[in-house]
């Protein structure tokens, strides 16, 4: 297994472009077996807009935290440290290295917080005793299986009770969540927007 050098940290506004690049790259790779090929292009085309919007959200998140308020969502990145001027250098036993992960070395992202997204109003409400939602957990393909996913999960959820929504037919993610104590709670339905009605379901963990 490749041993990645990385640090999990709250995302900064200046990370927005690299965060979105990692998120979109992971989404396109993850759902290629479920989505039509033309699904990818708009995701790429929207990346600049998504990054601009995210930069505002990240600034608000830090303002909230500085003011002692709990932000609606916290965002984390697994950042690979620059190495010899080459960000995101991959380390392999024996010291070899090559650039592998984006301009600011974001290997993966996570987003979580208490409170529902607007679109959840279309589904059965989440359990009242489990308000905390894991909203995003996405690794660049080359970082999967490296432990970065578990580390991001620990930062975003830790030992809390939590829930999440998962697009059906994503066995790796489902296995990861089951391993972390989640199970389907019966809520399910078509995913809207760019997901073209693909089936998704909710998983819940109580700790």
* Residue 196 tokens, joined: 């073209």
The answer to whether the CB of 200 falls within 8 A of the CB of 191 is yes
Between 87 and 108, CB nearer to ligand COA: 108
Burial degree of 161 (CB within 10 A; 0-12, 13-18, 19+): middle
The answer to whether the CB of 140 falls within 8 A of the CB of 107 is yes
Does the footprint of ligand COA cover residue 7 (CB under 6 A)? Answer: no
Q: Which of 30, 100, 105, 202 binds ligand COA (CB under 6 A)?
A: 30
Strand-pair partners of 204: 163, 183
- Tell how many helices (H) and how many strands (E) occur in the chain: 5, 9
Task: Spell out a b/e string for 187-199, using b for 16 or more CB atoms within 10 Å of the CB, else e.
Answer: beeebeeebeebe
Does the footprint of ligand COA cover residue 25 (CB under 6 A)? Answer: no
Smallest gap from Cβ 152 to ligand COA, in A, equals 7
135-164 binders of ligand COA (CB under 6 A): 137-139, 144-145, 149
User: Which residues of 128-182 form beta strands (DSSP E)?
Assistant: 132-139, 162-167
Smallest gap from Cβ 36 to ligand COA, in A, equals 18
Does the footprint of ligand COA cover residue 195 (CB under 6 A)? Answer: no
Q: Which of 3, 7, 9, 179 binds ligand COA (CB under 6 A)?
A: 179
Does the footprint of ligand COA cover residue 42 (CB under 6 A)? Answer: no
Point out which span in 44-52, 84-92, 93-101, 171-179 binds ligand COA (CB under 6 A): 171-179
Binding site for ligand COA (CB under 6 A): 26, 30, 137-139, 144-145, 149, 166, 170-173, 175-176, 179
């Amino acid at each position: 297994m490749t041993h990645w050098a990385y640090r999990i940290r709250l995302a900064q506004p200046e990370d927005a472009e690299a965060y979105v690049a990692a998120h979109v790259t992971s989404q396109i790779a993850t759902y290629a077996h479920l989505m039509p090929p033309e699904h990818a292009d708009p995701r790429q085309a929207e990346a600049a807009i998504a990054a601009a919007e995210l930069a505002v959200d990240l600034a608000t998140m830090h303002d909230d935290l500085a003011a002692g308020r709990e932000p609606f969502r916290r965002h984390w990145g697994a950042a690979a440290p620059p190495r010899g001027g080459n960000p995101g250098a991959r380390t392999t036993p024996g010291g070899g290295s090559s650039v592998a992960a984006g301009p600011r070395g974001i290997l993966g992202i996570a987003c979580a917080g208490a409170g529902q997204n607007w679109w959840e109003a279309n589904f059965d409400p989440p359990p009242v005793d489990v308000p905390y939602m894991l909203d995003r957990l996405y690794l660049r393909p080359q970082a999967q299986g490296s432990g970065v996913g578990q580390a991001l999960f620990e930062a975003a959820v830790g030992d809390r009770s939590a829930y999440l929504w998962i697009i059906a037919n994503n066995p790796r993610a489902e296995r990861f969540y089951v391993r972390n104590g989640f199970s389907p709670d019966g809520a399910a339905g078509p995913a809207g927007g760019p997901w073209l009605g693909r089936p998704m379901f909710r998983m819940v963990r109580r700790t």
